[in-house]
Chains A and B, each alone.
Chain A
Amino acid sequence: MTRSYLIALQVLVAVAAIAAWHVLTTVPIFGVTVLPPFFFSTPHDVAARIVKWFAEGSIWKHLWITLLEAMLAFLIGSVAGVLVGFWFARKPLVAAVFDPYVKIVNALPRVVLAPIFVLWLGLGIWSKVALGVTLVFFIVFFNVYQGVKEVSLTVLSNARMLGMNERQLMRHVYWPSALSWMFSSLHTSVGFAVVGAVVGEYLGSAAGLGYLIQQAEGVFDVAGVFAGMVVLAAFVIVIDLVVTLIENRLLIWRPVAAETRG
């Protein structure tokens, strides 16, 4: 199967779905509109809304806020995850002591923390960043921990026989191994950074894509909700493409592309 054929089929699915949506919301069948536009809007209205947002330029501010929150959450969560992951992997006692607590916090649905973060950090971006951090941190932490612990014993012995000291082992063996595990979960952790930002905005904020959708819902503006979802989907796809590009650069030494997608 060629690539263009595949893309043609993929586009066909979208066109069919939109066409069905259009027909069911605008063309009465035996005098009944199957999907009332009040609840389901119409493709035309949604498209018009998106065009309006971009034409007025009001959307950019929301996109930027969500992007900023997600990036900060990803950066802070990753740095913290790498540091703690390394620390735990190199200090088995620390890992053993904290093990049950890590499991407890990780098992906790992070959404319940959102109101607490709002209480602590206010309605601005930082409460959303904090929510994203709690999501990103654990993914990166577990991967780095695993990466450091699962360095091939032979590679490690080889490095030591070549004369590496502890610091050089860190730099040339543990660090690349940990990073490769972290990068292999890049899609998941970036995805969760966005989830943290949007969910945080949805639960209480003054800007961002989550806020946009929440506002529209508040006034039963279904076209606004759908338009927000479409913009969010496009936003996520663009980010995912960027991550794929970065990943291909960073994991060039790997025989197969990363497999640990969430």
Chain B
Amino acid sequence: MSVMPHPTTTPSVGKTDVEPQAAAVTLKGVGITFQLKGRAAFEAVRDVSLSVTDGEFVAIVGPTGCGKSTLLNVAAGLLTPSAGSVAVFGAPLAGLNRFAGYLFQADALFPWKTARDNVAIALEIAGTPTAEAHARADEWLARVGLAGFGPRYPHMLSGGQRKRVGLAQVLIRDPKILLMDEPFGPLDAQTRQIMGNLLLDLWSTDRKAVMFVTHDLEEAIALSDRVVIMSAGPAAHIIGEWRVPLARPRDISEVRLDRAFHDLHREIWEALKGEVLKGYAQTGG
């Protein structure tokens, strides 16, 4: 099922598809410069243009510290870019992105709330009665494989379980856009695969626009429709984009055995290596 006769991939290096009317998130010429107290300004990201269409799963890959989290913060409306513009479903973004659910890189659960309350609160603040919110929170906990873990506090859960609670907390609000920042980063390889399949499973029921940040190229290819590669910082930018020609539904562990997977992986690596070496020549010479 996952094998698709698609030996030739069509890279669209350095280009973004222009679909302004349909795009869930559009970043145009975004630059982010941090003003550090008493020191020179730090330009983290320069001139990033990227658009994610509704229902599209986009993975953003780049070395640690290149500005991936920063870029997601911009898409979430938590950070105003120093240059460029952000649009959400065609409208310029002002303040927080109300369409987005954000799964943070660091622990973001409320430590003083149980797993159930952590998930239910997302509904309760929007006015859902407590009893109903709790019932739906339990449903969502079951859906992410944590049935019966409702009464536990975050510190009584493993890292992977906490990420699942976070996922339920974000998804229970049914956001149209899903921002995920290295959600499986600290997990072991097996758990990553299970979580990846879980994510694809949940996503397939109602395809949200997803911006998925990772530093793992294989994970990016296995999950996404499109892989966006960023250069190392400072002044990180997009090196290239590749469409992923793998059929859905996918199984994360099976898809890695696919020819197309390997071809794409090699191709992206070739381009990446070239860029990285170029970067060295410019700065290191």
Contact = CB atoms under 8 A, between A and B. Distances in A.
A164 B125 contact: yes
Contacts of A104: none
Q: How large is the interface on A (under 10, 10 to 19, 20 to 34, 35 or more residues)?
A: 20 to 34
A154 B108 contact: yes
B155 A162 contact: no
Contact of B104 (A154, A164, A253): A154
A155 B108 contact: yes
A252 B153 contact: yes
Query: In the complex, which of the residues A152, A155, A161, A164 has the most CB atoms of chain B within 10 Å of its own CB atom?
Result: A161
B269 interface: no
Contacts of B109: 155, 158
A158 B153 contact: no
Contacts of A253: 111-114, 153-155
Contacts of A157: 78, 102, 104, 108
A168 B125 contact: yes
A252 B155 CA distance: 10
Interface in A171-201: 172-173, 176-177, 180
Interface of A is mostly: helix
B102 A161 contact: yes
B108 A158 contact: yes
A257 B109 CA distance: 20
Contacts of B76: 161
B112 A176 contact: yes
Contact of B169 (A162, A164, A255): A162
Given A161-B96, A161-B100, A162-B121, A255 B112 contact: no
B104 A160 contact: no
Contacts, number: 62
A254 B100 contact: no
A53 B61 CA distance: 77
A152 B108 CA distance: 8
A163 interface: yes
Interface in B153-169: 153-155, 169
Q: How large is the interface on B (under 10, 10 to 19, 20 to 34, 35 or more residues)?
A: 20 to 34
Contacts of B122: 162-163
Contacts of B194: none
Nearest to B111: A253
B110 interface: yes
A173 B121 CA distance: 11
B250 to A, nearest CB: 28
Nearest to A167: B125
A146 to B, nearest CB: 16
Contacts of A172: 110, 113, 121, 125
Contacts of A254: 111, 155
Contacts of B154: 253
A255 B153 CA distance: 9
A157 B69 CA distance: 13
B134 to A, nearest CB: 15
Contacts of B155: 253-255
B61 to A, nearest CB: 22
A152 to B, nearest CB: 8
B107 interface: yes
Contacts of B104: 154, 157-158
A177 B111 CA distance: 9
A160 B104 CA distance: 12
A200 B101 CA distance: 56
Contact of B78 (A155, A161, A173): A161
Contacts of B101: 161
A255 to B, nearest CB: 4
B106 interface: yes
Closest 7 CB pairs of A and B: A158-B108, A255-B155, A253-B153, A176-B112, A154-B106, A161-B102, A154-B108
20 contacts: A154-B104, A154-B108, A155-B107, A155-B108, A155-B109, A157-B108, A160-B78, A161-B96, A161-B100, A162-B122, A162-B173, A163-B98, A163-B173, A176-B112, A180-B112, A253-B111, A253-B113, A253-B153, A254-B155, A255-B155
Interface of A: 152, 154-155, 157-165, 168, 172-173, 176-177, 180, 252-255
